[in-house]
Structure 1
Amino acid sequence: MDTASMFMNATKVYMIKSFLTSLANTTMFTTYALYYIVTLGFNPFELLVIGTVLELSVLVLEGITGVVADTYSRRRSVILGMFFLGIGFAMQGIVPALDAWIPMISVFGLVLFSQVVSGLGYTFISGADTAWIVDEVGEEKIGTIFMKAKRYSLFGNLLGIALSVALATLAPNLPYLIGGLMYLGLGVFLILFMKETGFIPREREQGASHVKEMIQTWTSGAKVIRSQPILMLILFVTLFTGAASEGYDRLWEAHLIAEIGFPEFAAISMPMWFGIIAALASLLGLIVVGVVEKRLDVNNERVVLVGMFTLTGLKIAAMIAFAFSPSFSWALVALLLISVIQSLSNPLYDTWLNLNIESNVRATVLSMMGQSNALGQTAGGPAVGWIGTRFSIRASLVAAAILLAPILIVFGRALRRR
């Protein structure tokens, strides 16, 4: 068989990647709390440390790995990331076996190490995958591609929810083990079928070392951000989005459990309720994303900006409504609205960002945006958490919503510029 004939259409590869990564992530993370708390016995402080180690790994490594994609190859960077993620997640899945075979190994230490490995994987993929698909299909189609990929991701979520519950019923560690193997399999798939035709490597300086080339690429990316006001605005948006999301993501379940409660009718357990909420959110996301993809020109930057401005305002209102929910039904509606908004916001944000970055430093700039998000999460999460400890979880959720308010000003300013 001709080697070229083995490669798939770039759009098809990107859709398969989106589906499988969402399937793997949902398989692992739907029941991860039961595994961490019940099986491994981690206390709240240890859970916080695990999350912090992952975010710090991303913050430190993002700038290095993003440069690799712009200097050498987006394809290689994505494939490396898949294998590192597969190893990191599978490592967490075999923790009980390692603890039984080698008692002197600390379970907590092994999980922390796996977070660093996973963080390395995230940073190799972050920026590189979107930079690759933009180069392959062109900027004029990218809004449609991102919306379509979101639909594939939501399908993966639905399947992953059911798979996670089924695997966790057999053994609590199986979701992580199977999720890790999915990532390893995806890495092999990309080696076989992912092509790279649109990437133009930076011109190499004769005699320059690899380190010098990477430093030059990173410096070029930083200059691009500083020289373009729109990218500085996007950096600001990313920072505050990270700060707000960390507080909300860590506390919405606790608010639902501790301050609102679940209906007592029928034999529906708490894990089942969370599964139902996740499934409803994915189904609604599929419907709404499909409608928006058909009705709006998501490749038009002004349409994208108006959409993000509107969605941010709605998200602030929905988060405050969730914080002050007087009943479970009220909270459920607010939760589903927030989830649908996020399903729409992510592809719109990716479109806006990629329309404003030059191809030769795209992966580097995207990685810098990832660093900004990680910095926001690292700084904003503890601050929002302190408010919850000092006052209440409701106060923390309101604080997270307020952190999104400056983003409205940024979107308004960007619209005026257009």
Structure 2
Amino acid sequence: MNKKISPSVIYLTYSGATALFFSMVFTVSQVYRIDIIHLNPFQLVLVGTVLEASCFIFEIPTGIVADMKSRKLSIVIGLILIGAAFTIEGSIQLFTAVIISQLLWGIGYTFTSGADEAWIADELGGKNLDLIYLKGAQTGQAASFIGIVISTLISTKAVKLPMIIGGLLFIALAIFLLLFMQETNFTPASEEDRSSWAQMRHTFMKGISCINKNKILLMMMAISLLYGLYSEGFDRLWTAHFLNDTGFPKALNIKPVVWIGIIDGCAMLLSIVAVEYIKRRMEKTGELDRVWILTLINLFMTAAIILFGLSKNFKAALSMYMIFFIMRTTNGPIFSAWRNKNIKSEVRATVISTYGQMDALGQIIGGPIIGLIALKISVSAAIAISGIILSPVIIFLIFGLKKINNI
């Protein structure tokens, strides 16, 4: 008989393990695609577009499993698909294998998306959820940093190894959960609550209707679209800019993959400190102050991306990347808090879902455009243009400041 492990312990184990394994893979994945498979800039961005599109398309079909059959089963299937995806990509050095892996990863992610939080909410009966979610996030942050260190060390032997090992560990986690994860409070959704394309369309249209009645919410939707448009290209090309445009210091004789690990690790530590500082400041500020802070953050983000793209030496590029990473990390929770404050409680989930769909749509549209610019002109130009695409956010936020002043 299996010894029962409490749902809280299972959830924290799951949160930490998935963060660690993802971090192991992500630390080396772009270096692997650029240096080992030799993908061009357009192919790099296309990889991300396939991932986003598969997540967007399969969100509803896979959600039916979690709604109707089992949260646990949905999570286990998702982890197996994610693990298989990373193992395939690391084992087969072909562009086709990378595309197939992104498709599998996207489908796998949609199986886990929402099912994990819904499972722990069911098992705890809706009690102390804020605390367990916060602990899960903190566990994930610590595990992500450990994953960067482990991945960097392993990659000195072979760049593909962290991807293969990370993939196999995802499958091992799926087996562990299959054996030890309890599911005692699951109730299948009623027909009207089940995921469906019709429901997705209804949710989107209901969200749009609510947003259209509030100019600030309408402005935030435009901002969400712009965040999607700029981010996919930048996220796929920043590593290529370091590898091929600025290079790394030769004197220290450190491998490029180790440099990427160091950059990721330092950026994560700095962002943790920055987020904690901002969180404490936010407790003492009003809405107007928050929007001023958001405006400054987005101004710094835009400038940092453009200057990062134009930088031709390592120190300047590193400085701009660090500024951008910290600003982006602090921007997320402040923007979410401001947005949620302006949404009525009874339609909050619907409206937030609509913003998520706009961001995903922006990534699917913006990724290939930025990729083509990188292929036809240069990676530097594509990154700088990503910053220009982000810049209208500043104008929208200034508009938001004026609206608040007039209230």
Using the size of structure 1 for normalisation, the TM-score is 0.75
**Matched ranges for 1:324-403 at <5 A:** 324-325=310-311, 327-348=313-334, 356=343, 362=349, 369-389=355-375, 391-403=377-389
- Tell me, in whole angstroms, the C-alpha distance in 1 between the residues paired with 2:232 and 2:252: 33
**Matched ranges for 1:236-315 at <5 A:** 236-297=222-283, 308-315=294-301
Distance apart, 1:346 and its partner CA: 3.7
In the alignment, does 2:207 pair up with 1:225?
A: yes
**Matched ranges for 1:139-150 at <5 A:** 150=137
What amino acid is the match of 2:204?
A: A
Query: Where does residue 152 of structure 2 map in the other structure?
Result: 165
Structure 1, unmatched stretches of 5+, are 97-106
- Tell me, in whole angstroms, the C-alpha distance in 1 between the residues paired with 2:375 and 2:171: 40
Distance apart, 1:184 and its partner CA: 2.6
Superposed CA deviations along residues 132-171 of structure 1, whole A, max 9, x for unmatched, are: 67887979985x8777655433322322222223333344
CA contact (8 A) 2:55 2:107 kept: yes
Q: 1:292 and 1:43, CA in 2 relative to 1: closer, same or farther beyond 3 A?
A: closer
Counterpart among 388, 391, 394 of residue 405 in structure 1 = 391
State the identity %: 32
Distance apart, 1:81 and its partner CA: 2.4
**Matched ranges for 1:11-30 at <5 A:** 15-30=12-27
- Tell me, in whole angstroms, the C-alpha distance in 1 between the residues paired with 2:400 and 2:298: 14
CA contact (8 A) 1:84 1:121 kept: yes
- Tell me, in whole angstroms, the C-alpha distance in 2 between the residues paired with 1:366 and 1:283: 29
- Tell me, in whole angstroms, the C-alpha distance in 1 between the residues paired with 2:326 and 2:292: 17
Distance apart, 1:386 and its partner CA: 3.6
Q: 1:370 and 1:150, CA in 2 relative to 1: closer, same or farther beyond 3 A?
A: same
- How many residues are paired up? 397
Task: Look up the SS of the partner of 1:277 in the other structure.
Answer: helix
Task: Look up the SS of the partner of 1:6 in the other structure.
Answer: coil
Distance apart, 1:245 and its partner CA: 1.0
Structure 2, unmatched stretches of 5+, are none
CA contact (8 A) 2:41 2:237 kept: no
CA contact (8 A) 2:83 2:167 kept: yes
Distance apart, 1:336 and its partner CA: 1.0
- Tell me, in whole angstroms, the C-alpha distance in 1 between the residues paired with 2:389 and 2:275: 26
Distance apart, 1:304 and its partner CA: 6.8
Task: Look up the SS of the partner of 1:176 in the other structure.
Answer: helix
**Matched ranges for 1:57-136 at <5 A:** 57-66=54-63, 69=66, 77-95=74-92, 107-129=94-116
- Tell me, in whole angstroms, the C-alpha distance in 1 between the residues paired with 2:262 and 2:111: 33
In the alignment, does 2:29 pair up with 1:32?
A: yes
What amino acid is the match of 1:343?
A: T
Task: Look up the SS of the partner of 1:228 in the other structure.
Answer: helix
Distance apart, 1:26 and its partner CA: 2.0
Distance apart, 1:407 and its partner CA: 3.0
- Tell me, in whole angstroms, the C-alpha distance in 2 between the residues paired with 1:253 and 1:224: 39
Superposed CA deviations along residues 7-36 of structure 1, whole A, max 9, x for unmatched, are: 333xx6555444322211221122224544
- Tell me, in whole angstroms, the C-alpha distance in 1 between the residues paired with 2:196 and 2:246: 51
CA contact (8 A) 2:42 2:372 kept: no
What amino acid is the match of 2:155?
A: A
CA contact (8 A) 1:31 1:168 kept: yes
Query: Where does residue 7 of structure 2 map in the other structure?
Result: 8
- Tell me, in whole angstroms, the C-alpha distance in 2 between the residues paired with 1:188 and 1:122: 17
- Tell me, in whole angstroms, the C-alpha distance in 1 between the residues paired with 2:64 and 2:289: 31
What amino acid is the match of 2:359?
A: N
Superposed CA deviations along residues 309-333 of structure 1, whole A, max 9, x for unmatched, are: 4432321122233234464323222
Q: 1:56 and 1:249, CA in 2 relative to 1: closer, same or farther beyond 3 A?
A: same
Distance apart, 1:273 and its partner CA: 2.3
Q: 1:47 and 1:406, CA in 2 relative to 1: closer, same or farther beyond 3 A?
A: closer
Task: Look up the SS of the partner of 2:7 in the other structure.
Answer: coil
CA contact (8 A) 2:204 2:353 kept: no
CA contact (8 A) 2:302 2:387 kept: yes
Q: 1:225 and 1:325, CA in 2 relative to 1: closer, same or farther beyond 3 A?
A: same
Superposed CA deviations along residues 254-276 of structure 1, whole A, max 9, x for unmatched, are: 33344434334332333332222
What amino acid is the match of 1:228?
A: C
